[in-house]
Structure 1
């Protein structure tokens, strides 16, 4: 009995940390579940909590390993050293508790924005502390202050608690106790950390049980979710590891067939093909306006709540797409689609990946090779999300960002306002037009980005309009107003006559829903102006179709590896594809095949008017669609890894 008491006293600091972490994780999960009850509906709470407990035990044991090492070492060191390592154990334990508390406190705000726990997006934003801190201070100050105060309190309380738990360690340590602890405890710790007796250690797939990404993320804790995302980012997990494999030649054959190109011109670059352009006359200039965070649900012309009267007007003037879908949930994914036409994948956007920083096909590179002057205009800092590096390495010759905006009248957390941005963009286009060569310009807005900072009294919500987020809705109206003013100005300028304009969103302001991929949240506006086409296009189309179509409209017939469709032509099928965390959706006509980790596939009836999509049973025709889905997502990974997405030397 005395030996057991000695062992317990010796282990007490370690056990205290493990059980305190488990308590924090469980309380946080319960609170989130109560908060989100209306959103997630009826779920198997027993399965959720049991799966969560497995993840929490593994996380807690891993985080507590340094304290266990201190416990085992304590029997082999003198009192002075013992005092120092015991102090380290106390400070470390308090720090871990504080970190866990801070992560759980940050979770509700992250869920509000992205409909899942913190994940790889959380990590990617940490690379830009200035922008993130400014966004938090200006848009989420109360949350930030409360989180910091509670985290500080957690540190003080935890430090006092762990100081008490380690007081009697010195009297209980002995060589015999250390050996006994090693024999009894280490195997149990290893098993608890591993989380399973199976071939592979515990991972999210072992505890996921729902097709709702939010529900599945609740089985994790936020620190584990971020750590797991970081691990996957470091190895950039290939699509084949998530969804299954296919013969490379078959992958290429399927992708080539579904791109409906007439003539492929290279064995080394399998999708490199020519396309007969719509414009058979002199080459036109091209301007792409990429609107930040603008979902179709806000656009009156698309059946939304009607906060964009200027975009609605553009739909009457040009070639408006009623059924176009983004490929992802981040700006870099939208840039990837619109600038490169590259297929989405479960890895990061090619804008941020190392192998695509040079010799990667972009619309800017294609046009530069055709003698165009190419430019990127942004109101913030162009290094954000690695845009500057990617653009300069792949065809963009000139970058205009915050430091180049002349006398900005309003500066937000993300840079100059859209009004200032467009004022500068007009000046840049006038200068480009004065040159004796065609030009391309990508203009990327930022006013409609959390924390939605705009000039005071610049817009007012319509009378009687009910808003759950007035700051966001006003920012949408402000961004729309700035765009409308710019188009009005551009129409009076000389450059307008020979320039094709595309206005398109990068993604919706947030993505949420119970489906494995909430397709409705990927619906975005897009309208092409001044191209000789005026119509409302009802076809199902994807962001990756836009660069191919634009090249056709400006009159460029150079070979490209883009697999998107030239929408000036008609095709026997309509399709779109999108990536939502680890889930990949491929929609063909009215059926969506959704690939999920572990080679799981589900099928859904696609109806853009339905509030939620309806899952349907598998049949032979749907298997064909899932085969196409697998080929496309595998090709994305293969093309990046083997550097197949490039132009001819």
Structure 2
């Protein structure tokens, strides 16, 4: 009985060995490439050991299906040939997928600082835009990657799969041995897949050991990372499964306390954070224009300690109300839209812009202003269906959408749509139309030129004069990014200069804010410095001042409503920064990690692990581990859980 079983076992061992070698080589290569993230050899060894456990689990999952069905179906002659044909193709596809995701990993790490995760899945929903971006900005990488994948398929995976199936086909059918193999081999593979004899199967928390999020992600393989992200989608309604439990009553009490309002202000039984806040400005209601700048981190803005790439925004900091320590809630545009337009707290789920239950009747400042007599509008240079923006906006207070098809005679169209120059030219026309009405207006303008692959009109801006040392540190892509930032700043400056000459200027509050930083890289569980973004409000009584306290994107909407004279009747948790009486705080979601930042440090929540506390130095951008503050950890957990509870229970509606 054992001899036939060995024949069944041999091809599985060979295939497992090939996959383990392939994934180990990839992990080693990535680790050596990112070696600056490793503090010592022990960390590298921990990645290798933890990674091997994850790879064994991956192999187990891949081979369970053939192990279960091959001994059985090969015993039935009518099904035997069809099964082996299907098995060969299944193995080729599985091996190709494993390889494809490893090949895609370096590019993803360069942009997001982690292995492919849920962001990778979300981008796959938009193949047209993504393929256009790859062709325009990563053509060489795309060609090389495709060639490598084809070579692997033709010369490794197809022969290997053929050999695997051929070994199984040459075996004689033994009823007892087939039954033995059908039972024992799947059991072994299930144990491999589980990765542990404990109560729960292996998951990323078992192998995560570092305070560096990239190092932790390297212990996974990219297929495991993506599949785990897909599995985690089911937890979108309940962040408690990731971070820990807390009673609804305690969550509500803690988040209410941090709004600075008295408990008596919350009188809506079905919306526990809904309250009415009077504006600080009491004159004629003002218009509002929010300009959401694509991928613009503080690292590129000189008044915030960054590079001299944005002379116009630098000037706005001198002219308006500039925020020195404002932090984005996430790393994608929809997360920025979520924070700025709805004031919703970040969660480990997708942004509410893309979730089903928030497509109608969800609170936004557009729905609030619309109920107060405002005309509301969204202006975008690309196709507004991207990231589900059009559906979300039309269902939640925006009465008019202007996108690529509506832009009159654009001079330059790239992968993501019309250039910022064309966008702002159209925006000027749209605002002039809105101003002809007796109704006040709110317009959200979303730029796109500063998005990979950084396609901009030629000859409009010239590169800054870099020192020789700076130029040596910058690769071609980063130089293109810098030029795109310069162009985006130029187009913005032209628009504001034009707006100042329009009739609506004196009655309009302008907010210029980034949706997120360009890249989220670093050695920390949450790279706080890559959440630091510029924001400046123009044309208010706070002109020529700076706000130096820590603030979050979710604070912007309440502050704007106060500045423009609109009553804030909403469930938003953000602070009105015109009456700054509370300690500043910022909330950040980085993949599955959540950060709660105050002047006392940052508390980080990770799935399946105890909270961690760090001191954060805003000058050096370094995080130093310190003892956990239990009360602040509770506050962090409450804010991490609030979004999931509010979404699930309908606590964040516009009514």
Q: Return the TM-score normalized by structure 2.
A: 0.95
What residue is the counterpart of 2:614 in the other structure?
604
Contact 2:615 2:623 in 1 (8 A): yes
Contact 2:11 2:167 in 1 (8 A): no
| Deviation per residue, 1:116-167 (Å, 9 max, x gap) | 0000000000000000000000000011111111111111121123223433
What residue is the counterpart of 1:105 in the other structure?
103
- Partner Cα distance (1:179, 1:329) in 2: 51
Contact 1:310 1:483 in 2 (8 A): yes
What residue is the counterpart of 2:378 in the other structure?
376
More divergent stretch after superposition (631-640 vs 15-24): 15-24
1:217-228, aligned counterparts within 5 Å? 217-228=217-228
What residue is the counterpart of 1:283 in the other structure?
285
Shift of 1:47: 2.1
Q: In the alignment, does 2:149 pair up with 1:147? A: no
Counterpart pick for 2:492 among 483, 486, 507: 483
What residue is the counterpart of 1:434 in the other structure?
436
- Partner Cα distance (1:38, 1:584) in 2: 24
Shift of 1:8: 3.4
1:50-129, aligned counterparts within 5 Å? 50-78=49-77, 81-129=79-127
| Deviation per residue, 1:2-58 (Å, 9 max, x gap) | x65543333444333322211111110111111110233425222221211111111
Q: In the alignment, does 2:298 pair up with 1:296? A: yes
Shift of 1:598: 2.1
Counterpart pick for 1:473 among 479, 482, 486: 482
The DSSP-based 3-state class of the residue aligned with 1:159 is: helix
Contact 1:287 1:499 in 2 (8 A): yes
What residue is the counterpart of 1:204 in the other structure?
204
Shift of 1:185: 1.7
What residue is the counterpart of 1:176 in the other structure?
176
- Partner Cα distance (1:26, 1:328) in 2: 31
Contact 1:377 1:444 in 2 (8 A): yes
Q: In the alignment, does 2:653 pair up with 1:643? A: no
Q: Return the TM-score normalized by structure 1.
A: 0.96
- Partner Cα distance (2:613, 2:561) in 1: 34
- Partner Cα distance (1:314, 1:124) in 2: 34
Contact 2:9 2:185 in 1 (8 A): no
The DSSP-based 3-state class of the residue aligned with 2:464 is: coil
Counterpart pick for 1:626 among 623, 633, 653: 633
- Partner Cα distance (1:65, 1:187) in 2: 9
Contact 2:294 2:451 in 1 (8 A): yes
1:258-269, aligned counterparts within 5 Å? 258-261=258-261, 263-269=265-271
| Deviation per residue, 1:432-451 (Å, 9 max, x gap) | 00111000000000111111
Contact 1:298 1:304 in 2 (8 A): yes
- Partner Cα distance (2:638, 2:599) in 1: 18
Counterpart pick for 1:457 among 456, 459, 462: 459
The DSSP-based 3-state class of the residue aligned with 2:252 is: helix
Shift of 1:81: 4.1
Contact 2:302 2:309 in 1 (8 A): yes
- Partner Cα distance (2:634, 2:179) in 1: 56
The DSSP-based 3-state class of the residue aligned with 1:610 is: coil
The DSSP-based 3-state class of the residue aligned with 2:245 is: coil
Shift of 1:82: 2.7
- Partner Cα distance (2:302, 2:577) in 1: 23
Q: Provide the aligned C-alpha RMSD in A.
A: 1.6
Gaps of 5+ in 2: none
Shift of 1:635: 1.5
More divergent stretch after superposition (194-203 vs 519-528): 194-203
Paired positions, count: 642
| Deviation per residue, 1:608-644 (Å, 9 max, x gap) | 11231222123xxx22211211111122211111011
| Deviation per residue, 1:223-253 (Å, 9 max, x gap) | 1100010111144262211222222222211
What residue is the counterpart of 1:243 in the other structure?
243
| Deviation per residue, 1:511-546 (Å, 9 max, x gap) | 112222111111000000012211111111111000
What residue is the counterpart of 1:550 in the other structure?
560
Shift of 1:417: 0.6
- Partner Cα distance (1:169, 1:575) in 2: 62
Contact 1:12 1:166 in 2 (8 A): no
- Partner Cα distance (1:329, 1:567) in 2: 24
What residue is the counterpart of 1:333 in the other structure?
335
Contact 2:358 2:392 in 1 (8 A): yes
What residue is the counterpart of 1:445 in the other structure?
447
More divergent stretch after superposition (437-446 vs 271-280): 271-280
- Partner Cα distance (1:273, 1:379) in 2: 36
What residue is the counterpart of 2:605 in the other structure?
595
The DSSP-based 3-state class of the residue aligned with 1:132 is: helix
- Partner Cα distance (2:529, 2:52) in 1: 33
- Partner Cα distance (1:220, 1:599) in 2: 17
Contact 1:588 1:625 in 2 (8 A): no
Shift of 1:65: 2.6
What residue is the counterpart of 2:26 in the other structure?
28
What residue is the counterpart of 1:138 in the other structure?
136
The DSSP-based 3-state class of the residue aligned with 2:596 is: strand
More divergent stretch after superposition (237-246 vs 110-119): 237-246
| Deviation per residue, 1:339-369 (Å, 9 max, x gap) | 0111111111111111111111100000000
Contact 1:328 1:579 in 2 (8 A): yes
- Partner Cα distance (2:609, 2:89) in 1: 44
Q: In the alignment, does 2:504 pair up with 1:506? A: no
Contact 1:402 1:415 in 2 (8 A): yes
Runs of 4+ in 1 over 4 A off after TM superposition: none
More divergent stretch after superposition (589-598 vs 54-63): 589-598
- Partner Cα distance (2:568, 2:620) in 1: 41
Contact 1:97 1:154 in 2 (8 A): no
- Partner Cα distance (1:70, 1:241) in 2: 34
Q: In the alignment, does 2:411 pair up with 1:401? A: no
Shift of 1:255: 1.1
| Deviation per residue, 1:421-480 (Å, 9 max, x gap) | 011111100000011100000000011111111112322211235352111111111111
Contact 1:70 1:89 in 2 (8 A): no
What residue is the counterpart of 1:342 in the other structure?
344
Shift of 1:168: 4.2
- Partner Cα distance (1:445, 1:346) in 2: 26
Gaps of 5+ in 1: none
